[in-house]
């Protein structure tokens, strides 16, 4: 380590964000990279710790600690500090196919497990990663490198989210002919339409797509396998098939009045918003300008809905969270290097506070009824307060309604961001693969092989709703398994 005392000499500094009232004027990314000198000082804070938990990617009490990709964080931090950007980029790309995505949208599990963060603020690993990969693009280092030899084996990948793209990238490097089928008009899955533009501008995906195409990967768009494309045709044409269709079956809210006009699933709302931002298309567009918006769900998707509604000019935005508010700091039963279960005010909530003067979140509440007018148009939502209680049979904490605590709030639109229940089943049915009790495609533990020969699965369709980094990891792992079945061995990392 070139600067063993760096973590004592330099304080953590983040890339500056445009002020909320300014950045809500558009849907652009809003962080400004710092100077090379300042970024190298941030890399110098990486303390050459004896056990770098940042790259461990292990599960502790059901939560991920460190990077699931096992990124070589201390190594490329050191190279960044020394100004050896080309080598840092090589080190970064050994484990991560898409640092241009993860450095924008990942919640930075590496930073949560950073040893420096045990007693101080963690190293800015995510922003350092961004600096490295963008340097690569600016200096012509991120360019196509097609394989010199082809194996003659053909692989079809159904779905172009992070997992499908990672599998395609790895298998193409091996020399297999890879074709990716995507049912939408752009590749990327939730990267394209589930994550709004202010978190990931879509030219970033298109930039990477161009390189992948130059390397020999084929993309077939508007191809809905199981509907417009027959599974039997793919089985005839390809040696192996990977199903990477995501966990796109949204969890609904079952309450009286659910059929009222003005209730949408979050992913549909975000998809239509992104299409409007990119093309100006108003087909299916949900414009919340001047409207009362209620978002149900407290996760990243719920926050993205808040930020989008604020940018559209909503009259009010309220976010409903069923669980109690998390503490501001780690508690004794949540020690480092576990993922910190603490309250986070994300960008959308910051913007709502700036516009409306208060935090949009209402904790320990759920929907009791959707109230519509005589024409069936949503006007209000009746909520009920909840309290945590231990279930006597299971010992688990349950949220129960508090009698007489009902109250109403105005709502012209409700956006349901309550998570996903697993994969849509029509693709699984088309290929006759089994689903498990969680509606994910069934495989043996540690394997990606489905119940049908030559058909594999990966990503959210395999593990359930998860993060982009887990998707990339799964894509890399399924590529190894497919490669081994095709060639008898694998040398993929």
Beta pairing class for 177-181 and 218-220: parallel
Least confident of 159-168, 276-285, 351-360: 276-285
> What is the model's pLDDT at position 393?
80
pTM: 0.96
Band of residue 47 on the pLDDT scale cut at 50, 70, 90? confident
> What is the model's pLDDT at position 160?
98
Q: Are 422 and 436 in contact (CB under 8 A)?
A: no
Percent of the chain's residues with pLDDT above 70: 100
Mean pLDDT calculated for residue range 178-207: 97
Residue 395 has pLDDT above 90, yes or no: no
What gap in Å lies between CA 70 and CA 333, rounded to an integer? Answer: 26
Could you tell me the CA-to-CA distances from 113 to 64, 108, 197, 287, 486 in Å, in that order? Answer: 9, 9, 28, 40, 37
Residue 114 has pLDDT above 90, yes or no: yes
> What is the model's pLDDT at position 52?
93
Mean pLDDT calculated for residue range 192-220: 98
Could you tell me the CA-to-CA distances from 244 to 197, 351, 397, 428, 479 in Å, in that order? Answer: 23, 34, 34, 11, 12
Percent of the chain's residues with pLDDT above 90: 93
Instruction: Please report the domains of the chain, with CATH numbers, ordered by start residue.
Output: 6-138 (1.10.1060.10), 154-248+421-487 (3.50.50.60), 263-416 (3.50.50.60)
Could you tell me the CA-to-CA distances from 257 to 101, 284, 368, 371, 414 in Å, in that order? Answer: 39, 22, 10, 6, 12
Residue 266 has pLDDT above 90, yes or no: yes
DSSP string, 123-160: P-HHHHHHHHHHHHHHTT-S-----SS--S-EEEEE--
Q: What is the pLDDT of residues 131-174, one digit of tens each?
A: 999 999 999 999 999 999 999 999 999 999 999 999 999 999 99
Residue 324 has pLDDT above 70, yes or no: yes
Q: Are 268 and 293 in contact (CB under 8 A)?
A: no
> What is the model's pLDDT at position 152?
97
Band of residue 1 on the pLDDT scale cut at 50, 70, 90? low
Mean pLDDT calculated for residue range 280-287: 94
Mean residue pLDDT of the chain comes to 96
Mean pLDDT calculated for residue range 397-423: 95
Count CA atoms within 13 Å of residue 408 on its CB side: 11
> What is the model's pLDDT at position 45?
96
- Which residue is listed with tokens 């360019």? 143
Residue 467 has pLDDT above 90, yes or no: yes
Task: Report which of 191, 394, 413, 428 is spatially closest to residue 313, judged by C-alpha positions.
Answer: 413
Mean pLDDT calculated for residue range 338-342: 94
What gap in Å lies between CA 273 and CA 196, rounded to an integer? Answer: 8
Cβ-proximal residues to 380 (8 Å cutoff; 6+ apart), any chain: 370, 371, 408, 409, 410, 411
Spacing of C-alpha 47 from chain mean position: 29
As to burial, measured by CB atoms within 10 angstroms (0-12 exposed, 13-18 middle, 19+ buried), residue 84 is middle
- DSSP label at 374? T
Mean pLDDT calculated for residue range 216-238: 97
Band of residue 50 on the pLDDT scale cut at 50, 70, 90? confident
Mean pLDDT calculated for residue range 465-482: 97
């Amino acid at each position: 380590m070139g600067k063993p005392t760096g973590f004592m000499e330099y304080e953590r500094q983040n890339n500056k964000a445009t002020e909320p009232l300014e950045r809500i004027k558009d849907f652009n990314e809003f962080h400004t990279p710092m100077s090379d000198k300042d970024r190298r000082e941030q890399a110098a804070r990486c303390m050459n710790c004896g056990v770098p938990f940042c790259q461990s990617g292990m599960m502790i009490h059901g939560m991920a600690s460190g990077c699931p990709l096992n990124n070589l964080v201390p190594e490329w931090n050191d190279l960044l500090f020394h100004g050896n950007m080309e080598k840092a980029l090589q080190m970064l790309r050994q484990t991560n196919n898409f640092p241009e995505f993860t450095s924008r949208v990942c919640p930075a599990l590496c930073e949560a497990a950073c040893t420096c963060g045990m007693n101080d603020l963690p190293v800015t690993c995510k922003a350092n990663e961004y600096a490295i990969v963008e340097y690569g693009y600016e200096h012509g280092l991120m360019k196509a490198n097609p394989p010199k030899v082809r194996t003659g084996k053909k692989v079809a990948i159904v779905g172009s989210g992070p997992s499908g793209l990672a599998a395609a990238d790895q298998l193409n490097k091996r020399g297999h002919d890879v074709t990716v089928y995507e049912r939408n008009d752009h590749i990327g899955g939730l990267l394209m339409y589930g994550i709004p533009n202010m978190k990931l501008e879509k030219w970033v995906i298109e930039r990477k797509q161009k390189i992948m195409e130059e390397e020999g990967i084929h993309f077939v768009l508007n191809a809905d396998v199981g509907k417009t494309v027959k599974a039997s045709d793919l089985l005839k044409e390809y040696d192996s098939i990977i199903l990477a269709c995501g966990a796109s079956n949204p969890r609904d809210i079952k309450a009286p009045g659910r059929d009222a006009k003005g209730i949408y699933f979050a992913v549909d709302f975000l998809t239509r918003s992104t299409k409007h931002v990119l093309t100006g298309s108003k087909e299916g567009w949900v414009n919340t300008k001047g409207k009362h918006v209620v978002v149900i769900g407290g996760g990243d998707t719920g926050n993205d809905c808040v930020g989008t509604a604020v940018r559209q000019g909503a009259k009010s935005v309220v976010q409903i969270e069923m669980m109690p508010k998390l503490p501001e700091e780690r508690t004794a039963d949540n020690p480092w290097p576990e993922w910190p279960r603490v309250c986070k005010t994300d960008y959308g909530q910051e913007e709502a506070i700036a516009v409306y003067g208060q935090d949009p979140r209402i904790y320990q509440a759920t929907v009791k009824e959707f109230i519509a007018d005589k024409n069936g148009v949503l006007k209000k939502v009746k909520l009920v307060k909840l309290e945590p209680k231990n279930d006597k049979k299971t010992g688990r904490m349950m949220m129960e309604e508090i009698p007489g605590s009902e109250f109403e709030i105005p709502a012209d639109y409700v956006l349901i961001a309550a998570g996903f229940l697993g994969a849509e089943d029509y693709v699984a049915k088309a290929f006759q693969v089994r689903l498990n009790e969680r509606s994910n495609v069934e495989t043996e533990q540690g394997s990606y092989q489905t119940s049908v020969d030559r058909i594999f699965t990966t990503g959210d369709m395999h593990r359930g709703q998860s993060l982009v980094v887990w998707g990339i990891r799964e894509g890399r792992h399924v590529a190894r398994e497919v490669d081994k079945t095709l060639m008898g061995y694998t040398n993929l990392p």
